[in-house]
């Protein structure tokens, strides 16, 4: 309990800090809302009256886009690691009587708490106003989606931590490396554009990669455009594989990480 309390306290402090010094942070949410509203409008414009050509109707696509935005933070795990690497303060995480990975996860959880309450939930409730069906495709999808989302978070977190250690190992420019990663994963994960819509059979190919496990898999389960059990199995595989990789790589590069930045 004491151990859990440490992480909870870290998460709670992070959540409290998200509010900042002014209610103006809500404008950030407004911009996100506008962006998703426009994106939904664009899908309608681009695909209304046309077949998508795959097992994904326009209605499902709209739900897909909305849910991708509702759970954007969970589908693209971005911890404080980038900032810690930039500042050279990763070493400080090793000075606390808590798991390093656990600290990053706790702080991430704190950010999520706040965003879920202030943005995700209101957006989900506003879905009918946007003309989008927010509910999952059936009871099965409703039951399996949380599991799939949990696995997506596990894979995403492992990739995030692995990537951070890789950047230090290769001595790349952190800012550029993260920008590149964000751009590539936005495409490869299927968070912005469903993989099924990509031409040249790219979708089925990319679906095998771990990036798809972080976004495409749970979203497909939610809207009912894919067989859930094979997707879950693949996610479980990638969750195990990426965590083993991340743990091993961090152990290997512990000294470099701790001394990074001086």
Partner 1 sequence: MNAPAPPGTSASDIAVDARGLCKCFYQRQRSEKLSEVFANLLRPRVRLVEALRQVDLQVRRGEIVAYAGPNGAGKSTTVKLLCGILAPDAGRVRVLGLDPIADRVRYVGRIGVVFGQRTELWWDHPVAASFEWKRVVWEIPRPRYERLLGRVRELLGLDEFFHSLTRELSLGQRMRADLGLALVHEPEILFLDEPTIGVDVLAKRHILEFIMQLNRERRVTVMLTSHDMDELEQLAGRIALIDRGRIAFDGDFDQLRRRFADRRRLRLQTRAGEAPVLQGAQLLGSEGGWHEYTFDAARTQIAGLLAQASARSEILDVETHRAPLDEVIADIYQQWRQ
Partner 2 sequence: MGVRTCKKLLRLWGVYAYLDFMFMTRDLRFFLHCFFSDAVLNLAAVSGTFLLAERFAGLGGWSQPQVVFLLGYGMLVGGLINTFFGFNVLYISRRLGRGQLDHTLIQPQPLWLSLLTEGFTPISGSAILLPASGLLLWAGATLGLGSAARWWALFVLQALSSAAIALSFSFLWGSLAFWAPRAAEEISSSALRLVYQLKPFPLDGSGPLLMGGLLSLLPVGFVAWYPCRFLLGIALSPWDGAATPLAAFFFALLASWAFTRGKKHYERTGSSRYLSFGHRS
Binding mask 86-105 for partner 2 (x = CB under 8 A): xx------------------
Window 33-92: residues binding partner 2 (CB under 8 A): 34-35, 38-39, 41-42, 45-48, 50, 53, 83, 86-87
| Contact criterion met (CB below 8 Å) for 93 and 100 | yes
Three-state SS letters, 122-175 = HHHHHHHHHCCCCCCCCHHHHHHHHHHHHHHHHHHHHHHHHHHHHHHHHCCCHH
What does the alpha-carbon distance between residue 43 and residue 14 come to, in Å, rounded to a whole number? 36
Q: Which stretch binds partner 1 (CB under 8 A): 10-18, 54-62, 77-85, 245-253?
A: 10-18
Query: Which partner in partner 1, partner 2, none is near 192 (CB below 5 to 8 A by kind)?
Result: partner 2
Contact indicator for 207, 43 with CB cutoff of 8 Å: no
Query: Considering the rule CB under 8 A, would residue 262 count as an interface residue with partner 1?
Result: yes
Q: Could you tell me if residue 53 is left (phi over 0), alpha (psi between -120 and 50 degrees) or otherwise beta? A: left
42 binds, among partner 2, partner 1, none (CB under 5 to 8 A by kind): partner 2
147 makes contact, choosing from partner 1, partner 2, none, with CB < 5 to 8 Å by partner type, with: none
∠ at Cα 120 (114, 122), nearest 5°?
105
In whole angstroms, the minimum distance from the beta carbon of 113 to partner 1 comes to: 8
**Do 151 and 239 contact (CB within 8 A), yes or no?**
yes
Q: Taking a C-beta distance cutoff of 8 angstroms, is the pair 254, 169 a contact?
A: no
Positions touching partner 1 (CB under 8 A) are 12-13, 15-16, 19, 21, 23, 261-262
Positions touching partner 2 (CB under 8 A) are 19-25, 27-28, 31-32, 34-35, 38-39, 41-42, 45-48, 50, 53, 83, 86-87, 172-173, 175-177, 179-180, 183-184, 186-187, 192-193, 197-200, 202
């Amino acid at each position: 309990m004491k151990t859990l309390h440490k992480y909870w306290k870290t998460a709670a402090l992070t959540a409290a800090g998200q509010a900042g010094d002014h209610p103006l942070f809500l404008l950030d949410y407004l911009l996100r809302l506008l962006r998703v509203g426009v994106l939904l409008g664009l899908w309608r414009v681009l695909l209304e009256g046309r077949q998508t050509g795959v097992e994904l109707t326009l209605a499902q696509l709209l739900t897909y886009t909305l849910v991708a935005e509702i759970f954007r933070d969970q589908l693209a795990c971005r911890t404080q690691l980038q900032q810690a690497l930039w500042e050279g303060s990763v070493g400080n995480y090793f000075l606390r009587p808590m798991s390093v990975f656990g600290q990053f996860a706790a702080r991430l959880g704190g950010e999520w708490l706040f965003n879920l309450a202030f943005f995700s939930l209101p957006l989900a409730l506003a879905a009918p106003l946007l003309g989008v069906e927010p509910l999952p495709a059936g009871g099965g999808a409703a039951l399996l989606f949380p599991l799939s989302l949990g696995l997506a978070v596990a894979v995403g977190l492992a990739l995030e931590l692995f990537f951070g250690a890789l950047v230090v190992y290769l001595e790349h420019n952190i800012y550029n490396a993260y920008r590149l990663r964000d751009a590539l994963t936005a495409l490869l994960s299927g968070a912005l554009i469903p993989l099924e819509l990509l031409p040249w059979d790219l979708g089925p190919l990319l679906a095998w990669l771990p990036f798809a496990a972080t976004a495409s898999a749970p979203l497909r389960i939610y809207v009912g455009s894919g067989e859930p059990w094979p997707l879950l199995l693949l996610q479980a595989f990638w969750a195990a594989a990426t965590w083993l990789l991340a743990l091993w790589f961090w152990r290997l590069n512990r000294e470099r990480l701790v001394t990074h930045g001086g």
